Chain A
Amino acid sequence: MTGMRKLGMVQALNEALDVALTVDRSVFALGEDIQEPGGGGFGVHKGLGTKHGAGRVRLTPISEQAIMGAAIGAAISGMRPVAEIMLMNFVHVCMDQLVNHAAKLRYMSGGRTPVPLTVRTTTGAGGGFGAQHSDMLEAQLVHAPGLKVVVPSNPADAKGLLLSCVFDDDPCVFVEMSGLYFAGKAEVPDGDYRVPLGKAALVREGSDVTVLTYGRQVVDSLAVADTVAADGISVEVVDLRTLQPLDTATVLASAGKTKRAVVVHEAVRRNGFGAELAATIHAELFGELAAPVARVAAPNVPVPYAKSLEQAYIPSQGQIEAAIRRQVA
C-alpha cells in the first residue's frame, strides 16, 4: 500500500518527526537551534518549524536540564515530547533529570505517571570532535532501569524505530551516530512506518560465527563478513537495534547456532554493553560454546583528537576480522 523512497538517515529522521507531528497533536519537538533555517545542528528538523509552527517545534536556550525537565513535565501531563540533546556528551548535563526522574517516575508513582518522552541525541568518533563531543554512552543509560535505549544502523530503521519511540509509553533515548548521517541513501518506507522496539534484525545469515553489534559497527561488520566469506568463513550478523529492551531470544538463538560470538561496539570495552552480552551468552550457553565470547571495542581512553589516535581508537574492520578469525581458528 505504501511506497519506498531512497533517503539518507537525516532525511529519514526528518520524515519520522514530520509523520509523528502530523498524526498526533500531543507530539512536539524541542531543542537547541531546531527552528528554521537550520533545523538543528545536523538539520534533522529542517522544514518542520515552518510546517508545524514554532509552538510545536520549539527552540530552546542551551539549557539541557530545562529541556529535559520540560520534556518530563509535558510527558507526565498528556504530551509526547521529542527532545533533541544535540550531542550525547551533553546528556551528562541533564543526567539527573533523565536518570533520577524520567527513568523512575513511572516506578516511583506505582505506575501513575508514565513518561512517554523521546530523547534524540547524536554522537560517535571519527569526525575530529575530540573527547567531549564523541562518546558512546549507551551502557550508562541501559544501566538505568526505566529507560529504553535504541541505536539505529540504517535510514529505514532510523525512521521506524524513531516513530516507535515517539509513540512508546516509556522514556526512550534514541542514539544517532553521526557517521551514519551522510553514509548514503537506502530504501525507506513511506508514511507511518514503525519498527518494533526490542526486536533485533538478523541482517546476514551465517553458520560459523555470530557478530552482535549495533549502530555504525553494523556497516563495518557486514563489510568484514563479505571479506572473510572469501575464505569460507560464514558470519551471521545480528543488528541489535534496541539495547533495552534487548532481544535476548535472537541473541541466544544465533550464538547457540554458531557456537561462537563476537560483540562489536564503538564504546569503550570496560563495562561496555558487550560485557552484558558476553555475560548473558556465557550464563545461558556455557557448555555449548566453542570459544569464549570476544569483544571488539574502543580502548579505555577518552576519544582522542589527533587523526592517527582517533583512527586507532575506533574499532576497525581489521580488528573485527581478526576477532572473527580467532574465533574459528
Chain B
Amino acid sequence: MDLFRTATRIKTFDEKYRSLMTSGAIGGMYYSPRGQEFAAASVGRQLRRDDYVVTTYRGLHDQIAKGVPLRELWAEYLGKVAGTCHGKGGPMHVTAPDHGLMVTTGVVGSGLPIAGGLGLSALLRGTDQVTVVNFGDGASNIGAFHEALNLASVWRLPVIFVCQNNLYAEYTPLREGTSVDSIATRAAAYSMPGITVDGNDPVALYQEAGDAIARARAGDGPTVLEALTFRFCGHIMGDQQVYMPKEELAAAIDADPLPRFRARLLAGNLATEAELAAIEDAAAAEVADAWEFASNAELPDVAELETDVYGEGVAA
C-alpha cells in the first residue's frame, strides 16, 4: 500500500505537471518519469531518511520517493525562492540534504563517482548509512560508471547502483550503443553482485532492493541493481518518439505497472477499492496544493544572483 501510495503521488504530480506544460501554464524543460514510478518507490521504501540518494535530470520519482515534500519540490521546479534550492537549481539540480537527497545531476553518469564519496563518508564517519545512486542504461557506457564501480568494489563501499533500464539512451535504443544485453552483467567485471529485476514488479524490486541495502549496511559492499522499466513520454517533454516502434510503446503503456499493481492489491485482498481511491484522492489533493503553493510563491530576488557562489565573506 505504501508502494502504491508513493507511486500514485509520483504519477499524479507528473501528470499534472505535464498537463500544465501542455496548456502553456508552465514553461521550461521536463524529463518525465511516467512508467518508472516503482523503480523509485520500491527502492525508496527500503531507505531511511538519513540514507543518501543521488539521481539525474529524470529524477522526480526518486525525489518524491526519498521524501522531499511536494510543495518545496514543485516550487524548485518553477524556480521559486520557496523551492528546495531557493530556485537556483531547478528540476535538474534538486537537492534536499534534510531528506538525504544529496545531488541531482544533469550530466549522464556523473552521479556515480559522487555516490562513492557519500558511501566513503559513511564508512569514515562510522555510520551505517547507505547510498543509492540512480541512473539509466545509457550511463553505463560512460567512463565514470566504470571508475565508480571499480572504486566502490575495491573499497567495499555501501553503495547500491540502481540502473533504471528504460531501454533507451536519450533517442537511441539500448542495443545500438551497448555491448551487453543486461547492464547488471557489468557488475561481474567489478566483483560485485549484479541483479536484474522486473522494475514494474513492485514487490520483487522491493525485496531485491532490501537485500542489496542490507548487504551494504552490513559492510558487505556494493551491488548493481538493474530495474527493467520503460519511460512512457520519451526522453524530454515534447519528444515525438519517432525512434521507437509504435507497437513497443503501446505494449509498454498497456502493461502500465500502476493499474496492474492496483488490480493486484485488490485481487489479493490486500486493499479495498475505497482505500485505494482514498490514496488517489489524497495524492490529487496534495499535488493540487503543491501546485498552488508553488505557483503563488515568489521568484528569487535579483540580489540572490551572486550569493551562494562561495562561502561567507567571499564575493562572486
Q: B-contacting residues of A (Cβ < 8 Å)?
A: 28, 55-56, 58, 60-61, 63-66, 68-79, 81, 96-97, 100-101, 105-114, 145-146, 148, 168-170, 198, 245
**A108-B89, A110-B86, A170-B314 given as contacts; is B124 within 8 A of A73 (CB)?**
no
Q: How distant is the Cα of A108 from the Cα of B107 in the complex, in angstroms?
A: 14
Closest CB in chain A relative to B108 CB, distance in Å:
10
Q: Is A73's CB under 8 angstroms from B116's CB? A: yes
Q: Are A245 and B88 in contact (CB under 8 A)?
A: no
State which of B85, B97, B110, B154 has its C-beta within 8 Å of the C-beta of A108: B85
State the CA gap A114–B97 with chains docked (Å): 11
Q: Secondary structure of the B side of the interface?
A: mixed
Using A77-B102, A79-B124, A112-B84 as known contacts, say yes or no to A107 and B309 having CB atoms under 8 A apart. yes
Verify B316–A145 contact, CB threshold 8 A.
Answer: yes
Q: A109 touches which one: B93, B113, B148, B312 (CB < 8 A)?
A: B93
* 11 more A-B residue pairs beyond the given contacts A69-B144, A109-B84, with a C-beta to C-beta distance below 8 A: A56-B124, A77-B52, A77-B118, A79-B125, A96-B144, A97-B114, A107-B308, A109-B89, A110-B308, A111-B307, A146-B310
- Tell me which of B87, B143, B310 contacts A65 (CB under 8 A): B143
Q: A66 — which chain B residues lie within 8 A by C-beta?
A: 113, 116, 144, 147-148, 150-151
When A and B form their complex, which 10 residue pairs have the shortest distance between CB atoms, in order from nearest? A73-B117, A69-B113, A110-B86, A109-B95, A110-B85, A66-B147, A169-B311, A73-B118, A108-B93, A70-B117
A168 B84 Cβ-Cβ under 8 A: no
Among B84, B87, B107, B124, the residue within 8 A (CB) of A74 is B124
What's the least CB distance linking A31 to chain B, in Å? 12
Using a Cβ–Cβ cut-off of 8 Å, how many residues does chain B contribute to the interface with A? Answer: 48
When distances are taken between beta carbons in the complex, the residues of chain A under 8 Å from B107 are 96, 100-101
A71 to B52 alpha-carbon distance, docked (Å): 16
B63 within 8 A of A: no
Residues of A within 8 A of B314 (CB): 148, 170, 198, 245
How many angstroms from the CA of A314 to the CA of B81 in the assembled complex? 50
Query: Distance in Å from the Cβ of B123 to the closest Cβ of chain A?
Result: 8
Q: Is the CB of A61 within 8 A of B151?
A: yes
Collect the chain A residues with CB atoms within 8 Å of residue B110's CB: 69, 96-97, 100-101
Residue of A nearest to B151 (CB): A66
